[in-house]
């Protein structure tokens, strides 16, 4: 096996190592990744997987060296780094963050690992919002869904994690953005190699003193303990056995699992080993984690050995940099500190001399800036949902903290400018060895940050003042009543909804002042807004107290609509104008509650069904009552409210009715709902996986789909989306629906709507090979039922949110037929074939433009002719020998009026002042003033003059000193306005020459 040349900034290396042969063993695994609770160690939400392979025919507990026939022995010369060489190393860049990353990857490249690039921060895994661990890109391999492309790999993975955001800057090690260095084995090597290599890398390659290193193992993992103690030589006092919560990784209730082992660095070895607590992050930091996936947990909870074992490890780059660079926290390493220095400079403060609160704020800025720059680079733009909300939340947190530190403007004499782009330039400069593509996206990153910051600043000051007022009131009320101060959910929601304050910022500011936030109340207000944003016909108005009584007395409605469109039911409740009643007679509207129904109630964007309720005479089956149902809602959870009118007879509580859904309308809804799923899949395929749903409407006549995207779709993209969807329709794929546990659905790759709440059991709708979504709506059984798909509009509805409206099925046919009829009429009128319409229309437009130009020229000539006649009406002001023309030109249009005025000024001797007016249409007045140079020199300006005259006609206008135009809407006042113009001109000219 060819060993890559080892490149290292510190010179040659010297040690011996064994490289395992690559075994082409098949991988089979299933399960999902579940975050583990963060401890005082390096578990960045533990999406960490491990499995191992047999080293030889010996048992898994064999503590001896591996059999030689399974290994190739290699040696390379090394200079280990001792304690003395660590001092001052940062000055020669040998322990820089970039060097650590490079040396890690080189180390494993020399041991047969394939070096892979970092995956995007936007994962392919639909169950995870952002890439939060190094192993995420290999999840399909661990699950056995994809074949391995290499037996072992190593990466430096960019990660985002926000569940510990409150600890960022306050501890020495928490981040939202971090890099995880990892080596992975897919059925190749296992514990012995993983442990030995991690120790060798740590102590020889990076030169950490062994006496400062501690190790944790799972309490029952005797094999790992033996390797650490007997082979590696770690003393018993420096090995800690820990329980399942700390050192046993699981992928779920069942499935692959295995013990973990971690390496810790001891900052205070002088404290000894008696009662040492690895969770004490003032003394220890976990920097390397190894997880060994070796078991399968069965349904009964028992463990069985996996036939194929894997390894996944993670070394925190920022943590190793802190250790090697000998700084007190991760933020003061060369990976982050340049950003902090730039922020300090903008705030005109010294980080070294700052107090702890200021240092914490600067650390938060340094951390968050890295996160937002790399997220935007990977295509995640600020928005109010999903990944975009993460970016927006972090940006607004930086802006608020920057203002608290006194940062004003961009630091370049522009106090109104944005400072985020200035900080982003530092991040981009540091990104070369992390992701070279970031620098190529500089313009997009800086523009997006500037837009988002300035947008937020517009409302920040008002919101801050209001928040201060709310907090002051809460503190005052709490002190007066002896209660703990609390900000109401209603006030918190006002800040969120009106002033753009993320609830996390409100909570953070409140906590700084000792005030809690009523989050339950906030959630209630959020839900109210969601319901109120629906169309007015969706709202069921209830009198005070009736909703709670109704919800208590009426059981949930049994929905039968997936299987049938008709069923018998019992009337369990009636409402008229929101009030409960026992009976409703013919001609009245009613809201009807049934024990069971085939009617779909509006939810998930799909509108409610239409149809009828019938009841019959008991004796002869004569029809007795007919109720037309126009809408169905679910305002009380799973209680369906059927809104309708009593067309015949009467309806009473307890009556048995037959419920029948309008099958044609239901089919239209089904078609549009399935087409919506196809549209989302097509959008992800054409414009990128980072786009996500922001809302939808599934109606009988059309569908509407809102999605996050930063620009309008191009014409060719719309065409590509339509072609892709229509191809999927033509493939006549069977649509599958099934109910399964939520965890299983996510594991299978089903797309969930971000922010939606799901129960333990969910309904999954899948178009195999195209789309898989969590959805409770109704769908066609085969894509061929959709018949055809056409986008009828695409537009922006909010910042970063676009909307597509489209038609499918019967609505598509109606749309095409309607357009075809228009085309036939057009062809008949133009007397051409359909394929020649465009050319014929272009010719007509050209002819029309030529005709209009000719007409305009004729009008101008006519106006000039009229002007030549009007010229004779010019009168002279003797004091200044100035000629003045103030006249009406009937219905002359504005352009011709202008030509006439210019003609008069040019043909009459300077100085001359011309004011002309006309009424070119109903409720329309045109005015123009043209003054020669001699008039302008007197200080009389046409622009200022004509504005006052136009006001008389109910209008306004202005222009240059020598020429101006104006308009009005009161033609009856034109002559009065011209008389006023004549008088004012004479007065002004006499005054100037007196």
Q: How far apart are CA 156 and CA 153, in angstroms?
A: 11
Q: What are the two backbone dihedrals, phi and then psi, of residue 146, each rounded to the nearest 5 degrees? A: -135, 145
pLDDT of residue 94: 56
Do the beta carbons of residue 280 and residue 240 sit within 8 Å? no
3-state secondary structure of 883: strand
Q: How far apart are CA 634 and CA 591, in angstroms?
A: 12
Do the beta carbons of residue 650 and residue 562 sit within 8 Å? no
pLDDT of residue 550: 56
CA angle 840, 844, 848 (to 5 degrees): 170
589-629 confidence digits (pLDDT tens): 999 999 999 999 999 899 999 999 999 765 555 668 999 99
pLDDT of residue 496: 77
**Cα-trace Rg, the chain:** 38
CA neighbor of 687 nearest in space, from 725, 714, 726:
714
Q: What are the two backbone dihedrals, phi and then psi, of residue 58, each rounded to the nearest 5 degrees? A: -75, 165
Do the beta carbons of residue 319 and residue 227 sit within 8 Å? no
Pairing type for strands 703-708 and 801-808 reads antiparallel
pLDDT of residue 12: 28
Q: Which helix (H) or strand (E) holds 842?
A: helix 837-870
Q: Is 711 exposed, middle or buried (0-12, 13-18, 19+ CB in 10 A)?
A: exposed
**Per-block average pLDDT, block size 10, for the chain (994 residues)?**
32 29 26 31 32 30 34 32 38 75 95 92 80 84 74 95 86 93 94 96 95 95 95 94 88 75 95 89 94 83 84 95 95 96 94 94 96 92 84 90 86 80 95 89 90 83 81 81 84 78 80 89 78 36 40 80 95 90 93 96 93 79 84 87 94 94 97 97 90 89 90 95 97 95 84 66 94 94 97 86 94 93 90 90 90 84 82 79 87 87 87 90 89 87 87 87 90 91 85 72
pLDDT of residue 181: 96
3-state secondary structure of 835: helix
Mutual orientation of helices 809-830 and 663-687 as an angle, nearest 10°?
80
Instruction: State the alpha helices, DSSP H only, in 482-567.
Output: 489-499, 503-512, 519-532, 546-553
The torsion angle over the Cα atoms of residues 336, 341, 343 and 348, rounded to 10 degrees, is 160
DSSP string of 618-674, one letter each residue: TTT--EEEEEEEEEEEEEETTEEEEEEEEEESEEETT-EEEEEE-HHHHHHHHHHHH
The torsion angle over the Cα atoms of residues 55, 60, 64 and 69, rounded to 10 degrees, is -20
3-state secondary structure of 44: coil
513-550 confidence digits (pLDDT tens): 889 999 998 888 877 765 544 332 233 233 333 444 55
Secondary-structure breakdown of the chain: helix, strand, coil percentages, each rounded to the nearest 5: 40, 25, 35
Phi-psi region of 413 (alpha: psi -120 to 50; beta: other; left: phi over 0): left
Do the beta carbons of residue 317 and residue 206 sit within 8 Å? no
Tell me if the bond preceding 911 is cis, omega within 30° of 0. Answer: yes
Contacts of residue 44, Cβ cutoff 8 Å, sequence gap at least 6: 38, 132, 133, 159, 161, 178, 180, 314, 316
Q: How far apart are CA 306 and CA 209, in angstroms?
A: 36
3-state secondary structure of 151: coil
Pairing type for strands 213-218 and 239-242 reads parallel
Annotated binding site for Zn(2+), which residues?
A: 673, 677, 775, 779
Pairing type for strands 516-517 and 486-487 reads parallel
Contacts of residue 545, Cβ cutoff 8 Å, sequence gap at least 6: none
pLDDT of residue 137: 85
Annotated binding site, which residues?
A: 673, 677, 775, 779
């Amino acid at each position: 096996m060819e060993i890559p040349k080892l490149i290292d900034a510190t010179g040659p290396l010297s040690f011996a190592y064994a490289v395992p042969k690559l075994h082409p063993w098949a991988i089979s695994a299933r399960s999902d990744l579940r975050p583990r609770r963060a401890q005082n160690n390096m578990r960045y939400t533990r999406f960490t997987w491990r499995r191992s392979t047999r080293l030889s025919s010996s048992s898994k507990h064999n503590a001896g060296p591996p059999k030689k026939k399974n290994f190739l022995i290699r040696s390379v010369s090394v200079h280990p780094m001792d304690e003395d060489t660590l001092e001052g190393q940062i000055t020669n860049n040998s322990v820089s963050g970039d060097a650590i990353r490079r040396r890690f990857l080189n180390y494993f490249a020399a041991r047969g690992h394939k070096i892979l690039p970092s995956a995007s921060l936007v994962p392919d895994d639909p169950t995870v919002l952002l890439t939060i661990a190094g192993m995420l890109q290999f999840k399909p391999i661990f699950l056995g869904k994809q074949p391995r492309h290499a037996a072992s790999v190593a990466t430096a993975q960019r990660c985002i994690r926000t569940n510990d955001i409150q600890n960022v800057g306050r501890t020495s090690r928490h981040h939202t953005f971090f890099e995880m260095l990892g080596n992975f084995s897919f059925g190749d090597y296992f514990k012995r190699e993983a442990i030995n290599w991690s120790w060798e890398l740590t102590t020889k390659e990076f030169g950490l003193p062994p006496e400062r290193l501690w190790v944790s193992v799972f309490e029952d993992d005797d094999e790992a303990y033996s390797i650490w103690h007997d082979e590696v030589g770690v003393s018993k006092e420096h090995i800690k056995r820990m329980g399942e919560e700390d050192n046993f990784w699981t992928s779920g209730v069942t499935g692959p699992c295995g013990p973990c082992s971690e390496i810790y660095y001891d900052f205070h070895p002088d404290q000894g080993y008696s009662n040492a607590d690895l969770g004490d992050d003032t003394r220890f930091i976990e920097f390397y984690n190894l997880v060994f996936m070796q078991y399968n947990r069965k349904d009964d909870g028992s463990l069985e050995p996996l036939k194929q074992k894997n390894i996944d490890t993670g070394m925190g780059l920022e943590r190793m940099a802190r250790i090697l660079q000998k700084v007190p926290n991760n933020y003061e390493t060369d990976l982050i500190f340049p950003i902090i220095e730039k922020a300090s400079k903008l705030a005109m403060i010294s980080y070294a001399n700052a107090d702890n609160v200021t240092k914490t704020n600067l650390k938060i800025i340094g951390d968050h800036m890295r996160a937002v720059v790399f997220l935007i680079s990977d295509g995640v733009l600020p928005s109010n949902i999903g990944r975009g909300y993460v970016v927006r939340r972090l940006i607004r947190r930086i802006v608020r903290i920057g203002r608290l530190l006194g940062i004003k403007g961009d630091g370049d004499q522009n106090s109104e400018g944005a400072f985020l782009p200035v900080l982003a330039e530092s991040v981009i400069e540091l990104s070369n060895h992390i992701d070279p593509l970031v620098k190529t996206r500089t313009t997009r990153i800086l523009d997006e940050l500037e837009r988002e910051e300035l947008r937020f600043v517009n409302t920040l000051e008002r919101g801050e003042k209001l928040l201060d007022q709310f907090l002051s009131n809460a503190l005052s009320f709490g002190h007066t009543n002896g209660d703990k101060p609390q900000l109401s959910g209603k006030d918190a929601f006002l800040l969120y909804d009106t002033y753009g304050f993320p609830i996390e910022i409100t909570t953070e500011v409140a906590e700084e002042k000792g005030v809690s936030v009523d989050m339950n109340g906030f959630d209630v207000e959020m839900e109210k807004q969601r319901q109120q944003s629906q169309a007015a016909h969706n709202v069921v108005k209830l009198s005070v107290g009736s909703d709670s009584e109704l919800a208590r007395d009426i059981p949930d409605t049994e929905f039968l609509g997936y299987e049938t469109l008709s069923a018998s039911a019992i009337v369990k409740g009636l409402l008229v104008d929101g009030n409960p009643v026992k009976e409703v007679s013919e001609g009245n509207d009613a809201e009807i509650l049934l024990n069971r129904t085939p009617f779909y109630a509006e939810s998930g964007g799909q509108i409610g069904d239409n149809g009828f309720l019938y009841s019959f005479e008991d004796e002869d089956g004569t029809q007795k009552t007919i109720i037309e149902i126009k809408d169905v809602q679910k305002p009380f959870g799973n209680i369906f409210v059927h809104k309708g009118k009593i067309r015949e007879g009467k309806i009473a509580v307890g009556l048995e009715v037959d419920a029948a859904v309008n099958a044609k309308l239901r089919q239209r809804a089904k078609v549009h709902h399935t087409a919506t799923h196809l549209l989302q899949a097509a959008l992800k395929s054409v414009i990128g996986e980072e786009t996500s749903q922001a809302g939808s409407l599934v109606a009988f006549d059309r569908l509407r789909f809102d999605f996050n995207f930063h620009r309008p779709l191009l014409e060719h993209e719309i065409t590509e989306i339509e072609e892709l969807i229509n191809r999927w329709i033509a493939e006549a794929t069977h649509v599958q629906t099934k109910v399964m546990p939520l965890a299983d659905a996510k594991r299978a790759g089903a797309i969930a709507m971000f922010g939606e709440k799901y129960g333990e059991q969910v309904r999954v709708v899948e178009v195999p090979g195209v789309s898989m979504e969590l959805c409770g709506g109704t769908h066609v059984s085969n894509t061929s039922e959709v018949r055809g798909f056409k986008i009828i509009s695409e537009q922006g509805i909010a910042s970063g949110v676009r909307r597509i409206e489209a038609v499918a099925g019967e609505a598509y046919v109606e749309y095409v037929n309607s357009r075809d009829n228009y085309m036939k009429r057009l062809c008949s009128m133009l007397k051409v074939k359909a394929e020649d319409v465009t050319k014929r229309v272009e010719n007509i437009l050209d002819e029309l433009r030529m005709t209009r130009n000719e007409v305009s020229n004729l009008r101008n000539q006519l106006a000039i002719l009229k002007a030549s006649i009007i010229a004779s009406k010019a009168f002279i002001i003797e004091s200044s020998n100035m000629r003045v023309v103030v006249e009406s030109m009937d219905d002359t249009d504005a352009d011709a009026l202008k030509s006439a005025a210019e003609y008069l000024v040019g043909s009459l001797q300077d100085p001359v002042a011309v004011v002309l007016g006309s009424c070119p249409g109903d409720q329309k007045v045109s005015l123009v003033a043209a003054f020669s140079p001699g008039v302008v020199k007197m200080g009389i300006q046409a622009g200022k003059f004509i504005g006052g005259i136009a006001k008389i006609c109910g209008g306004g206008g202005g222009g240059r000193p020598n020429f101006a135009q104006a308009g009005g809407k009161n033609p009856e006042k034109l002559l009065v306005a011209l008389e006023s113009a004549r008088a004012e001109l004479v007065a002004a000219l006499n005054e100037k020459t007196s």
